[in-house]
Amino acid sequence: MADAEFVVVRDLRKVFNGHTAVDGVSFTIERGEIFGLLGPNGAGKTTTIRMMSTTLPISAGDVTVAGHSVRRKPAAVRRHIGVCPQELALYLELTALDNLVFFGRMRGLSRREAAAQAMENLELVGLTDRARQPVAKFSGGMKRRVNLAIALMNRPELLFLDEPTVGVDPQSRNHIFDTIEGLRDGGMTVLYTTHYMEEADRLCRRIAIMDGGRVIALDTPHNLKARYGDPERVTLEDVFLRLTGRRLRDAG
């Protein structure tokens, strides 16, 4: 499997009770890049991620991660991936450290390995000094950083980040960006979804713009903007407007 095809999504489809949420999505992700899924609420980003990360059954099509098919080898895929879900998925009553150690143990780490990895991850997201406080006492941004740190407990090669900055203060947002770029520099591959175009513009090497369950454009931010004029002046917001006739923020 070539690094250019580290992740291959082929004609992926999801139908919920007759409603098609993801409608034939295809793209590939290169090893080591931050790949963006940009689209308004309801575009199908989360549904795509849930299928790619083995937690939602695929209606049609398939995904391979490092050559392993999600449909046929979900256990092999799980070993390569970490998922930071859109909604906080952790135990608010427990401390940050307890949360990380617990998920580390679910990943098959021994208590000691999990504790060491947890401290490393807390350092990475800048929460070392809050390690032993219940997550319930954290600000929204800090909770999101714990949510992210949990996804890194198995040192994944491929990280799914589903709108990690929603409801986050600017300080935490910058911290999250720095963390993601640091991970990318360390060789991690990232699938990043957002409905904030500036984020996608800043972080992602390539972007798939999604709307109504389909990918309506896929390229680097520069090339996407260059389609409609001077890339220094055109924004991704303009690109979305030209593609759909709607504004990104109003859509959905």
Ligand X SMILES: Nc1ncnc2c1ncn2[C@@H]1O[C@H](COP(=O)(O)OP(=O)(O)O)[C@@H](O)[C@H]1O
**Hey, which residues between 118 and 157 contact other proteins (CB under 8 A)?**
134, 150, 154
Cβ partners under 8 Å of residue 121, min gap 6: 100, 149, 150, 152, 153
165 binds Mg ion (CB under 5 A): no
State the virtual CA torsion across 112, 116, 119, 125 in degrees, nearest 10: -130
Distance (Å, rounded) from C-alpha 243 to C-alpha 187? 33
21 lines the binding site for ligand X (CB under 6 A): yes
Cα torsion for 14, 18, 21, 26, to the nearest 10°? Answer: 40
Contacts of 37 (CB under 8 A, 6+ apart): 45, 48, 49, 191, 192, 193, 194, 207, 208, 210
Among 7, 29, 33, 45, binds ligand X (CB under 6 A): 45
Regarding 197 and contact with ligand X (CB under 6 A), the answer is no
Binding mask 74-93 for Mg ion (x = CB under 5 A): ------------x-------
Q: Kindly state the smallest distance separating residue 195's Cβ from Mg ion, in Å.
A: 8
- Bridge-based pairing of strands 189-194 and 34-38 is parallel
| Interaction of residue 44 with ligand X, rule CB under 6 A | yes
Q: How far is CA 247 from the centre of its chain?
A: 23
Q: Which of 13, 31, 94, 214 binds other proteins (CB under 8 A)?
A: 94
| Interface with other proteins in residues 48-87 (CB under 8 A) | 50, 53-57, 75, 78-79, 81, 83, 85, 87
Is there binding between residue 46 and Mg ion (CB under 5 A)? yes
**Closest distance to ligand X from the beta carbon of 209 (Å):** 11
Q: Which residues in this chain contact ligand X in the complex, by CB under 6 A?
A: 16, 19, 21, 39, 41-47
